[in-house]
Structure 1
Amino acid sequence: MVGRHSLTGPRDPDPAFQESLLSCGVVTALTTACRALSQSDLPGAGIELKGFLTAIVDHMSLFPSVWLPQSLRAGLLDILFTSRHRKIVNRTLINLVKHVIFPATVSHSVLAQLQTSLSQVRDRDAKAIFRHTGLLTLWMNLIEVVESRFRILAEYHTGMLTAARASDDLECAKIRPKSELKRCSGCLAAYYCSGTCQANDWMRGGHRKTCDGLSLRREEFSHPSSRDRSFLRLVHHEWMTRREEIAQQHLLSEQIHPSEVLCTVLDFTAGIEVGPLDSSVRSRFEFDIDRVMRSGGRMELQLLKVMDSRQSRMWPFLL
């Protein structure tokens, strides 16, 4: 049976179980079946296709950075352009583009495979094939976004785009390429330009109190892969072209919330929002908020909001 529980089991699936399914080739098998059904004239093929396609979209939304690249390699985009049963599956195709592919374009693994997969359908006339205005609009918006991120991907691969961050010792706070900083061996989350900076932050900067907590949080953010997390840090720079808009929002928020620590949320599914953090989010990022308050205005907290496992997830970055 093809269905949510037949493949994933619990509502919050175990990543190890997901990896086991991947190693068995379940994503490739489902995608291949959908490709065959999308080209079939047999009676009932459209209904079968809708069931299979709905299942694969549903399951890929759990871990898109893991499942989607494998489905793309198996010819997922070909289903978009060749289905003989477009009226039956059109809503499912819209969900695929809108809720799976689009949000996943902040992932290095997805973008790298999407670059190859898109080249195989570039010569096809989306306007003539899709017909449905909603799907066509989504597709054109997707192409515009991924073209921008392909440029970031190219710079990332050539080393032109290097992640920079400040030393976590606020008395130093030197900004260096991340590769030139050394990180704490305890929490693997704090970075320093020298042993002196690390010792100073441990003795006077408060790291002694936060090291264990940062280590636990690092485990929480262990998914997706380290490469995808690294690339996510770099993707935010495309939003820096809107710094004037962000600054205006900051000024307005400071007037409304003069005593609050403000945060810029870069929502890759909606837009930019500047304002104070609610209590639930504040408790999750107390270490970052504390550093911003102690920085005397030298640091700003940014949260990147992306879709992960069917829900939005925030990743903290200090600038």
Structure 2
Amino acid sequence: MHPSLALSNLNKLPFRHKKLATEAVEGNLQKLDALLEALKTLPQKQHAFVTPVLYALLEPDSAIIQELLEQGVAGAERLARRLTQLQTTFSLAPTVLLSSPIPEDAATAVWERIWFWAQFLDQLYEQLPLMPREEVYISFILASLPLTSHVDKSRAAFPLQTPGVRAMLARAWVTLFRDKSLRSLQMISFGLNYLTQDAYEDDEETCLWELSDQLGGLDALADLIIEHLAHLFPAPAPATPQTVKLADGLVYFLHRIWHSTSFISMLPDAGICSLLVTVCRALSADQSSLAQNLYELVHELLIDGLCSHAFTEKGARSIADSLSAGLLSLLTPPTPYKTRKELLLVFDRVLPGKTVFPSVLVSLSPVLPTLEPPSDIIIGGAFLKVWNHFVELVERRSAFFVHSCRNTIAPLRACHNLKCNQIRKKTEFKQCTGCLVAYYCSKACQREDYRTGAHRHECPKLNEARKGAFYQPVDCDGTDNHTGERLSLKKEDDKFFRALLAAEYARRKVEIGVKIVKFWTENPDEVPCLEFDFSAGAVTVNVYSAPYMNSVTHMGEIKRGYRWPPDGFSEAVARSAASQGRVWVHLFAVEVGDGGASNVRLLLKPLHTENAALWNGLKIIAARWRCDNSINIADEPQREDVERLVKVCEGIAETHS
């Protein structure tokens, strides 16, 4: 036993405190209560002399308690006295151990006894709730503070290395949060702040995994964190000093485990982003140092989540909700210095890539006019330039969205029977009930396409592609079979995608024609696959061959390994080849994931034309320039030919299916 834990140290106390301490050790509960009160008048430097009282009263005598339990009524009085003594001793521990320096060996010895009793009382509650379980957990958290809050990291780390500590913290969190009293919430904050200090490590034996295992998995931990944050910050109203203190431990804990992609993937998509916005807005109104520290941490998580984590895997819903909650006001300068460079990515790629979703445009349109242009220039004026481009994009697409909503002209559709391919108003067609994708101008065309065409085989694949418009690839086995989870796409999103694609194609038809001529100059026998990349705001158009697209899938080419051909791609290429120039393979690239290129998905939107005039004309131009070796095709000498061809083909009906 360490010398500082010997009862002889009580002689160093003033007479009154010495008498109370001695009688408390002898088992007098009234004197123990009195000692707890008398410590308020004892100089802090003398508090360490009371440590022997703790050590003595926490002697591991659980066998006696178990014996008293077995005695029933006969042992009830003694049992109650011992449990009351333990509870008061637990309350005494923080006052004694936090007030003055205590040798490490002594602090460790006291902790071992505290932990022994915390485990015992927790298990005892399962058998017989003799004392409120909340009190057991509160005492456990308070008793750990003398070590975990110590500036000496080696001393602070000792409780963290004790097996079972985080499992008990998880049980304490659930129980105390259910109580939701001010005292219980404060204890949770203490526990999360000091008992999760090693959560930066991502190992199966450390904090994150111990907590999640006890709670029932990472998804349960994520749910608890979100529920806790939402309870503390139900609205973006200015946070009170009390709320800031209650959020302290939770925010620091969330920041520590944010590195874990396993955990982040479990965060419910709908709500976490807008919830962080609410927390930021609430904290920003409090100018205290603690509130500002927490604000910077949450703001950092918000920006990091927008740029690199799974905030938007269910389309644009979370972004739209966050914009309504006030996201933009947190993203315009002045902002925390740590996140300013990341803001360039947010406004240059993340948010622009979401403006293809009507819900995002509807949320952005009323907010942008209320914001002042950013005044401080970041990174040599780069931010202001990106901001202006973003505003212009939103205004342009918002106006186009309003126009498309007001357009009452019935959309066009093409007969799915390639022998017909007639283009008329959608209302004049019958839809295939099997796939809900193919349209036919008559029952005869539908019957012919099903019996002698390819629809008998492609119908289930088209239905599968329709159900899983967004596809999250996980693995590839070298064939066309991929495993993963599908992400939903709203009908209004798909309708707007078609409108955007049609407008972009019509506006840039000459430029696209030149690209196709170049493609056919080098690949005369291949079907051109046109990718319209809407994933980062400004639209880029690329032309690829089907073999190249498939090689990307199977070989994992670094340059474009993240773009996976969608369901039905091979069938679309075959239809294009069989159509003799009346069906084009168009792909709509949209970002549906975490703000990075790895979450760009390709949606199949074939273009049907009334005749093959454009296809055949571009083929002829490509053949002519391919034969003329004196021409540098990179100089685009064929542009004038393409311009004349496009003008001749004006008025030919066309539609995206």
Q: Which residue of 1 aligns with 2:346?
A: 96
SS at match of 1:246: helix
Query: Distance in 2 between the 1:168 and 1:113 partners?
Result: 37
The answer to whether residue 399 in structure 2 is matched with residue 115 in structure 1 is no
Q: Percent identity?
A: 27
Q: Which residue of 2 aligns with 1:178?
A: 426
Query: Distance in 1 between the 2:519 and 2:392 partners?
Result: 31
Q: Which residue of 2 aligns with 1:253?
A: 519
Question: CA separation of 1:75/1:64 partners in 2, compared to 1, >3 Å: closer, same or farther?
Answer: farther
Q: Residues 75-224 of structure 1 correspond to what in structure 2 (within 5 A)? A: 75-81=326-332, 84-121=334-371, 124-126=372-374, 128-129=375-376, 131-132=378-379, 133-160=381-408, 163-221=411-469, 223-224=488-489
SS at match of 2:287: coil
State the 1:98 CA deviation. Answer: 3.0
Query: Distance in 2 between the 1:302 and 1:102 partners?
Result: 21
Conserved 8 A contact 1:37-1:48: no
Which residue identity lines up with residue 579 of structure 2 in the other structure? S
Q: Residues 17-36 of structure 1 correspond to what in structure 2 (within 5 A)? A: 18=268, 22=270, 25-36=271-282
Q: Which residue of 2 aligns with 1:314?
A: 602
**Residue by residue, what CA displacement relative to the aligned partner does 1:259-317 show, whole Å, maximum 9, x if unpaired?**
11111111123611123132233985011111111111112111111111131111111
Conserved 8 A contact 2:533-2:590: yes
State the 1:242 CA deviation. Answer: 1.1
State the 1:39 CA deviation. Answer: 5.0
**Residue by residue, what CA displacement relative to the aligned partner does 1:159-202 show, whole Å, maximum 9, x if unpaired?**
34754331111122121333443321111121122222211211
SS at match of 1:92: helix
Conserved 8 A contact 1:31-1:75: yes
Query: Distance in 1 between the 2:410 and 2:366 partners?
Result: 24
State the 1:80 CA deviation. Answer: 2.3
TM-score by length of structure 1 reads: 0.85
Which residue identity lines up with residue 496 of structure 2 in the other structure? F
The answer to whether residue 320 in structure 2 is matched with residue 69 in structure 1 is yes
Which residue identity lines up with residue 192 of structure 1 in the other structure? Y
Conserved 8 A contact 2:592-2:601: yes
SS at match of 1:264: strand
Query: Distance in 2 between the 1:210 and 1:85 partners?
Result: 52
Which residue identity lines up with residue 519 of structure 2 in the other structure? S
Conserved 8 A contact 2:258-2:301: no
Q: Which residue of 2 aligns with 1:267?
A: 533
Question: CA separation of 1:238/1:96 partners in 2, compared to 1, >3 Å: closer, same or farther?
Answer: same
Q: Which residue of 1 aligns with 2:299?
A: 50
Question: CA separation of 1:41/1:273 partners in 2, compared to 1, >3 Å: closer, same or farther?
Answer: same
Which residue identity lines up with residue 251 of structure 1 in the other structure? V
State the 1:151 CA deviation. Answer: 2.2
**Residue by residue, what CA displacement relative to the aligned partner does 1:220-244 show, whole Å, maximum 9, x if unpaired?**
2162212111211111123221110
Question: CA separation of 1:79/1:39 partners in 2, compared to 1, >3 Å: closer, same or farther?
Answer: farther
Conserved 8 A contact 1:46-1:85: no
Q: Which residue of 2 aligns with 1:300?
A: 584
TM-score by length of structure 2 reads: 0.43
Query: Distance in 2 between the 1:96 and 1:302 partners?
Result: 28
Q: Which structure is larger by alpha-carbon Rg, 1 or 2?
A: 2
Unaligned runs of 5+ residues in structure 1 are none
Higher relative contact order, chain-length normalized (CA < 8 Å, sep 6+): 1
Question: CA separation of 1:276/1:155 partners in 2, compared to 1, >3 Å: closer, same or farther?
Answer: same
Q: Which residue of 1 aligns with 2:569?
A: 285
Query: Distance in 2 between the 1:138 and 1:165 partners?
Result: 38
Unaligned runs of 5+ residues in structure 2 are 1-252, 470-486, 554-564, 608-657
Conserved 8 A contact 2:280-2:295: no
Query: Distance in 2 between the 1:39 and 1:84 partners?
Result: 14
Question: CA separation of 1:282/1:223 partners in 2, compared to 1, >3 Å: closer, same or farther?
Answer: closer
Which residue identity lines up with residue 520 of structure 2 in the other structure? E
State the 1:40 CA deviation. Answer: 4.6
State the 1:29 CA deviation. Answer: 2.2
State the 1:142 CA deviation. Answer: 1.2
